């Protein structure tokens, strides 16, 4: 029975695409500019990495 996946497709399915890489880079840059602590990156869908914000992460 065929899975429908070609070689490497399963491994690459969780790899961020171009937009995901930009979002990760923006988030990391925002965190480097802050004091140590727990933060979460937030964004409104469709607005792009330039509108990403850093907020204190909720307590666990």
Instruction: Indicate the pTM of the whole model.
Output: 0.64
pLDDT of residue 44: 87
- Whether 2 has a pLDDT exceeding 60, the answer reads no
> Tell me: the pLDDT tens digits for 31-59?
998 888 899 999 888 888 888 899 998 87
- H helices of the chain, in order, are 9-12, 18-32
Pairwise CA distance, residues 30 & 40, whole Å: 10
- Whether 1 has a pLDDT exceeding 50, the answer reads no
pLDDT of residue 45: 86
């Amino acid at each position: 029975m065929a899975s429908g996946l070609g070689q490497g497709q399963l491994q690459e399915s969780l790899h961020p695409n171009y937009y995901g890489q930009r979002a990760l880079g923006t988030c990391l840059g925002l965190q480097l500019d802050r004091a140590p602590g727990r933060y979460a990156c937030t964004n409104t869908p469709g607005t792009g990495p330039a509108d990403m914000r850093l907020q204190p992460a909720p307590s666990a």
